[in-house]
Structure 1
Amino acid sequence: MLGEESTVLQRPRDASCLKDFLNVMNAATASSEDSSQSEEEQEKCKNFEESIESMNPMDFKNHFRLRRSTAEDLILRFSESENLSDTDCGGIKHVSCRKSVYIYLWYVGNTVTYRQLGNLFGVSVSTAWSTVKTVATFLISIGRDYVSWPRGVAALDIINTFERKHKISGIIGAIDCTHIPIKKPQNHGEDYFNRKQRYSIVLQAVVDANKKFIEVTCGEPGSLHDYRVLRRSKLYRMAQSRYEEIFPNSTFIIGDSAYPSTNWIVSPYKNYGNLTDSQKKFNEKHSSARIVVENAFGLLKTRFRRLLKFTEQTNLAAITNIVVSVCILHNICIIKDDLFENAESNIQNNDEQQADEEHELDHGNNRRE
């Protein structure tokens, strides 16, 4: 990891260049993808990369949503990737690795169109799209280094942290789903129409006690209930076939009332007005521990505002890859202690959870007792 960036303020060489740069930047950041202005040609920004290099640390983080040192580490690793050519940076001619990472970070941190993104960085719309796709693919290729199911000492640390904070022993993670808004897909669009009357794909995640993702599943249609998404996921198959390996020493994950209580998932008691005081207290502790996954989603969507809307493209595979890539980037920021101040309270995962499936077994009762 590179050292912290200098706090010395640097000034652009040309004051008029800075004025033009800020005008384009503000327009691109504030614009919406479905605005009529998104179709208008805009003058390409000149010397934008020089202006980026002249930013002080605070401005850089405000615009790129992470510290310059974190971006520099990404640029270095991207340039050293075995999957990329040294001459054309992954087949994208005339786009340096540095510029490629900047383009990707600007796209996932804002809601600009590809036309606006291209104008900002002086590239074509197709190049802007290819660049975002390439960097997202790169991040997924290194994802195992940052998103993985905890084992051994790592698992013990998570269990101890949950127990220290919430007085419940055995928790290895908290699970939940959130919806990523998309444009109506060309095929089977009705499957993606969710209960909020919007089109979306589902992001399912398990997080540790520090809001870091330890398992991610993305791409299921928005009409599916959370438990159905889990049943279709790799996590469920692993839990069924390799239970002792995934959940050693009777550890478990916690989820809200959308999930059944089993030998590896513990959900709160359903409240039909007859809960005992101890059951109510358990639900309170359970809720205080489970909120970490909602906070993680809030932090993710506040930092990477692209997840608030994907209304320009309909390529579901590409959208899914971008979503997964920012989950990886989210973990990288946490590992590097690259915090995003005042973000957690801005976006809440307020989806109403309604059970739409019958659960014949409730193995979690003894665990809760």
Structure 2
Amino acid sequence: MSREAVEELVQVIAVTNRIPVQHIPLEKKVLFSLWVLGKQESFLSVGDRFGLAKSTAHYIFKQFINVMLTLLPQYIRWPENHREAIRQFHERSQGFPGVIGAIDGCHIPIKQPRHNAHDYYNRKQFHSIILQGICDHRMMFTDIFIGMPGRVHDARVFRNSDIYNQIINEDNPLIPQDMHILGDSAYPIMLNVLTPFRDNGHLAADQLNYNYKLSCLRSIIERAFGRLKGKFRRLKYMDVSDPIFGTDIIAVACILHNFIIATDNDDEEFDFEDLPEEPVDEDEDDDLEIENRNQGVQKRRNIVNILRN
């Protein structure tokens, strides 16, 4: 994060007038909080580095988190115009039409929660909070849904998110019929959510070509998560036993992720390693989703034909 970006962030926070300066300058509070998010050091260690008592350090960090949360609608919002994203994704894939972003889930490791610890224990055998994110061609998050326990399947997380209800809203759909986001096979195929063909070893060449192009484009969300965890290493393991506060920390990291891209135009990328995708659970489909899925299957066939030509 450049010095200029830090200075701009300080100004943005100052305008909110929600962090009292008191005897500690606002810039110092912001730098301290960014250091906490960017490193895996203890509060005691970071407090010593900044000349702060442990209790004061905790108080300042919670202040920072609460103020940054008020900025979420400003920095993470659904685009009104998708033309640039469609153009960029189309060029990168040499022909895949209508793509406006990619969706995936990411497990953020946390300390064992005091309550309902079993729910947060995922299949990789650690406790986690799930971050569902959608990003555009710049790796900027256009939607996030955070807080579901690590034991929950990606498809169920998706169905519980606001974005799902907005997508299936027939009266006022969020995404036009000719546009879509890309997901892996853990997600249900829908009119506006395209997923790969299940590779059973008997896919046709056209289907394999579709899967390859979709996978290349969909990797943008994995790289976004990689950048997020690379910039804010506190997310590699959060020593937080309160999932609600942990959820707030993750949200603030996502806000800062977008702020940095918008301010620094930072193209740095990081390696990403997360849980492998799961097969989608199709037992929960209702009539509306079945109809939507059929429309998605037909759209996928149409795109296979487009990519063939």
TM-score, scaled to structure 2: 0.90
Aligned to 1:169: 97
Greater CA drift, 220-229 or 246-255: 246-255
Q: CA deviation at 1:275?
A: 0.9
Are 2:11 and 1:76 equivalent residues in the alignment?
Answer: yes
RMSD: 1.6
Matched residue SS, 1:336: helix
Aligned to 1:180: 108
Aligned to 2:137: 209
Please list, as runs of the form range in 1=range in 2, the aligned pairs for 1:109-148 lying within 5 A after superposition: 109-148=38-77
Identity of aligned residues (%): 32
Supply the distance in 1 between the matched residues of 2:171 and 2:25 (Cα, whole angstroms): 46
Q: Which of 248, 265, 270 is matched with 1:321 structurally?
A: 248
Counterpart AA for 1:138: V
Supply the distance in 2 between the matched residues of 1:164 and 1:338 (Cα, whole angstroms): 20
TM-score, scaled to structure 1: 0.76
Q: CA deviation at 1:340?
A: 6.2
Q: CA deviation at 1:244?
A: 4.6
What does the per-residue CA deviation read over 1:155-212, in whole Å, with 9 as the maximum and x for residues that have no partner?
1211121112112111111000110000110100000000110000000000001111
Whether the 8 Å contact between 1:204 and 1:216 is mirrored in structure 2 is yes
Aligned to 2:235: 307
Are 2:166 and 1:238 equivalent residues in the alignment?
Answer: yes
Supply the distance in 2 between the matched residues of 1:198 and 1:356 (Cα, whole angstroms): 22
Whether the 8 Å contact between 1:193 and 1:222 is mirrored in structure 2 is yes
Greater CA drift, 263-272 or 136-145: 136-145
List alignment gaps of at least 5 residues for structure 1.
Answer: 1-65
Larger-Rg structure? 1
Q: Which of 157, 175, 192 is matched with 1:247 structurally?
A: 175
What does the per-residue CA deviation read over 1:212-242, in whole Å, with 9 as the maximum and x for residues that have no partner?
1000111110001111111111111222226
Are 2:194 and 1:270 equivalent residues in the alignment?
Answer: no
Matched residue SS, 1:261: coil
Q: CA deviation at 1:356?
A: 5.5
Supply the distance in 2 between the matched residues of 1:146 and 1:156 (Cα, whole angstroms): 19
Q: Which of 275, 281, 296 is matched with 2:209 structurally?
A: 281
What does the per-residue CA deviation read over 1:22-46, in whole Å, with 9 as the maximum and x for residues that have no partner?
xxxxxxxxxxxxxxxxxxxxxxxxx
Q: 1:217 to 1:150 in 2, by over 3 A?
A: same
Please list, as runs of the form range in 1=range in 2, the aligned pairs for 1:4-83 lying within 5 A after superposition: 66-83=1-18
What does the per-residue CA deviation read over 1:283-317, in whole Å, with 9 as the maximum and x for residues that have no partner?
00000100000000111111111110112x21222
Supply the distance in 1 between the matched residues of 2:254 and 2:72 (Cα, whole angstroms): 9
Q: CA deviation at 1:280?
A: 0.5
Supply the distance in 2 between the matched residues of 1:83 and 1:122 (Cα, whole angstroms): 23
Matched residue SS, 2:264: coil
Misfit runs of 4+, over 6 Å: none
List alignment gaps of at least 5 residues for structure 2.
Answer: 302-309
Q: Which of 344, 350, 365 is matched with 2:274 structurally?
A: 350
Aligned to 1:100: 29
Supply the distance in 1 between the matched residues of 2:297 and 2:191 (Cα, whole angstroms): 9
Supply the distance in 2 between the matched residues of 1:185 and 1:244 (Cα, whole angstroms): 39
Q: CA deviation at 1:94?
A: 2.5
Supply the distance in 1 between the matched residues of 2:25 and 2:254 (Cα, whole angstroms): 24
Whether the 8 Å contact between 2:114 and 2:242 is mirrored in structure 1 is no
Q: CA deviation at 1:277?
A: 0.7
Aligned length: 292
Aligned to 2:306: none
Aligned to 1:12: none
Aligned to 1:367: 299
Aligned to 2:307: none
Supply the distance in 1 between the matched residues of 2:3 and 2:10 (Cα, whole angstroms): 10
Supply the distance in 2 between the matched residues of 1:340 and 1:120 (Cα, whole angstroms): 30
Matched residue SS, 1:323: helix
Q: CA deviation at 1:337?
A: 3.1
